[in-house]
Amino acid sequence: MTLHLFNTYSGKKEPFEPANPNRVTMYVCGPTVYSYAHIGNARPPVVFDVLFRVLREQYGGDAVVYARNFTDIDDKIIRASQESGDPIRVITEKFADIYRDDMAALGTLTPTKEPRATEHIPEMQDLVSALLKHGHAYAEQNHVLFSVRSFDGYGRLSKLPQDDIIAGARVEVAPYKRDPADFVLWKPSADDEPGWGAPEGWGVSGRGRPGWHLECSAMIRAGLGDTIDIHGGGQDLRFPHHENEIAQSCCAHDTGDVPLARYWLHNGFLNMGKDKMSKSLGNIVTPHELLETWQGEVLRFALLSAHYRQPLEWTDTLLEQSKRQLDRFYRVLSDLSDLPDVTVALPGAVLTALQDDLNTPEAISALHALRDRAVSAAGPDQVQANAELLTAGRLMGLFLSEPEIWFKGAGAGGGLADEVIEALLKERTTARQAKNYARADEIRDELAAANIIFEDGAAGTTWRRG
Ligand code: AMP
Ligand code: ZN
């Protein structure tokens, strides 16, 4: 078995063959940094982190170039700055840092490149100039627009016929568009908005800024090249974002037939009940707040519990089950921690599952089988099974803690942090001294529910997680 990936562009699962095995390239559309990402936004970085790890395993760590961008110029950021009074740069730096920390807590490797849109304005302008030159773009009322009708390939990724797109109600009508399907490459900035001067010859005056789609096309070209192997993102980005990226990038070439990406991968939605988790619906929970209660690995495990193209419903039960499953793995890793560390090949069942379009639920089942084998084997077989379990788990970015740290970590005791437990115990002592037994009992019950075991002794109260 070799790696097979479902390519949205062809609508088929295909064997993955990089154009150059010494430089395998992957780009994943990253966050717009104006507030906290939600846990649905964390699905692409976690899923594509598994792919990054699988590719590194196959082609070597240095051969895979993975870029995940930050959109740090956007109307939503401008609005956040106007509302809070904080400069744009302060907001984008703050939320980019938080994003990086949170994604690291979810066990994602740092991408090879993390380009920021504002660092690539000249490359965006070069693309616009090329599109104007080739007749794929036009200037109108200080905007530059991409002419969708000028590109035959438009709609091929999302499988939407051009006429449907043009008739589509989702397309914004604006006086500066010759056709409602046309989209903005460059737009004017007001005096209090960030902007850059347009090159001469565009037919626009004053300061302006790029449209969102243009940013990704330019960052891909600058950091990875004209044609990349893999382009990823959530399924909502297929249209219009990725369709527009393709149109801009392909048409900027003299020949117009240089593909932007060879394999297009899209993850399904993370849902709350029946609805997609999204800021606009207000049904979000953020990794930032979840990490106060749960270990990052629990969130990662939960995100990988469904196949990446399937919907995933986010519930407390999912989190509790993920935590329990990980506890069972760590219990065995703890019991077998005295076994010698030996180097083993990746176990076939886990590799086969991951190579089958990243079938993580199947890979997790294979991990369970390995764990059972490690428990029941003896002697050298047990050493082998334990090493295979660790190797396979780590390939998926799991089992990265030491077992004893795992059992003391956040969430290990129903989510109570050490300081909270200690504060509760102190409050219980004070309550008892004040003969407020009702409060003391309440705290005892709360700690018991969180699986905290404590004992009153001569030297005070000691506690541990159960
Ligand atoms: P956005 O900030 O909306 O541009 O989203 C950033 C990334 O998260 C994109 O790849 C989206 O497709 C993805 N995304 C947004 N919402 C969800 C969701 N509920 N489930 C899965 N992926 C999502
Ligand atoms: Zn993008």
What's the residue count for the chain? 466
- Among the ranges given (396-410, 412-426, 446-460), the one the predictor scored with the smallest mean pLDDT: 412-426
Q: Which atom of ligand 1 lies at the shortest distance from residue 237's CA?
A: 12
Q: What is the pTM of this model?
A: 0.88
Task: State the closest ligand 1 atom to the C-alpha of 234, by its place in the atom list counted from 1.
Answer: 12
Mean pLDDT along residues 331-336: 96
Q: pLDDT tens digits for 205-243?
A: 999 999 999 999 999 999 999 999 999 999 999 999 999
358 touches 310 (CB < 8 A): no
Which residue has a Cα nearest atom 7 of ligand 1? 41
Pick the ligand that lies closest to the CA of residue 213.
2
| Mutational pocket test of ligand 1: of 34, 95, 236, the residue with most ligand atoms within 8 Å of the beta carbon | 236
Identify which ligand lies nearest to the alpha carbon of 214: 2
Q: How far apart are CA 308 and CA 285, in angstroms?
A: 19
Answer yes or no: is pLDDT of 412 > 60. Answer: no
Identity of the amino acid at 264 = W
What is the rounded CA–CA span in Å between residue 371 and residue 293?
26
Mean pLDDT of the region 170-174: 71
Residue 169, pLDDT score: 43
More confident position, 61 or 404: 61
Residue-level pLDDT at 196: 98
* Per-residue pLDDT, 424: 85
Ligand 1 neighbourhood includes 429 CB (under 6 angstroms): no
CA of 246 to the centre of ligand 2 (A): 10
Atom of ligand 1 nearest to the CA of 37: 2
What are the residue ranges spanned by the domains of the chain?
4-271, 316-406, 418-465
360-376 vs 316-335: helix crossing angle, rounded to 10: 30
Per-residue model confidence (pLDDT) at position 167: 64
- CA–CA separation, 9 vs 262, rounded Å? 8
- Among the residue ranges 107-116, 150-159, 257-266, 422-431, the one predicted with the least confidence is 422-431
Q: Which atom of ligand 1 is nearest to the CA of 276?
A: 19
User: Is 232's C-beta closer than 6 angstroms to any atom of ligand 1?
Assistant: no
142 phi-psi bin (left φ>0, alpha ψ -120 to 50, beta other): left
Q: What is the mean pLDDT of residues 266-281?
A: 96
Mean pLDDT of 319-332: 96
The domain 4-271: what is its CATH number? 3.40.50.620
What average pLDDT does this structure show over 307-311? Answer: 98
| Residue 410 pLDDT | 62
- The minimum-distance atom of ligand 1 relative to the CA of 270 is 20
User: Confidence class of residue 1 from pLDDT cuts 50, 70 and 90?
Assistant: confident
Query: Quick one: which atom of ligand 1 is closest to the CA of 271?
Result: 19
Arithmetic mean of pLDDT, 125-152: 96
Residue nearest to atom 14 of ligand 1 (CA): 41
Confidence check: pLDDT of 132 > 80: yes
Decide whether any atom of ligand 1 lies within 6 Å of the 30 Cβ: no
270 lines ligand 1 (CB under 6 A): yes
pLDDT for 3-39, tens place per residue?
A: 999 999 999 999 999 999 999 999 999 999 999 999 9
Average pLDDT for 251-280: 93
Give the integer Cα–Cα distance in Å for 285 and 291: 11
pLDDT of residue 464: 78
Rounded Cα gap, residues 446 and 431, in angstroms:
15
Looking at the CA of 235, name the nearest ligand. 1
Nearest-ligand number for the alpha carbon of 233: 1
Query: With 70 as the cut, is the pLDDT of residue 413 above it?
Result: no
- CATH 1.20.120.640 applies to domain 316-406: yes
- Taking 80 as the threshold, does the pLDDT of residue 337 lie above it? yes
Going by alpha carbons, the residue nearest to atom 2 of ligand 1 is: 31
Among left, alpha and beta (phi > 0; psi -120 to 50; other), residue 145 is: beta
Give me the mean pLDDT over the 373-378 stretch: 97
pLDDT of 107 above 60:
yes
Which carries the bigger pLDDT value, residue 236 or residue 447? 236
Q: What average pLDDT is seen over the chain?
A: 93
Q: 44 CB under 6 A from ligand 1? A: yes
Neighbours of ion ligand 2 (CB under 5 A): 29, 216
- For residue 237, report the distance from its CA to the centre of ligand 1, in Å: 8
120 Cα–ligand 1 center, Å: 23
Alpha carbon distance 360, 205 (integer Å) = 52
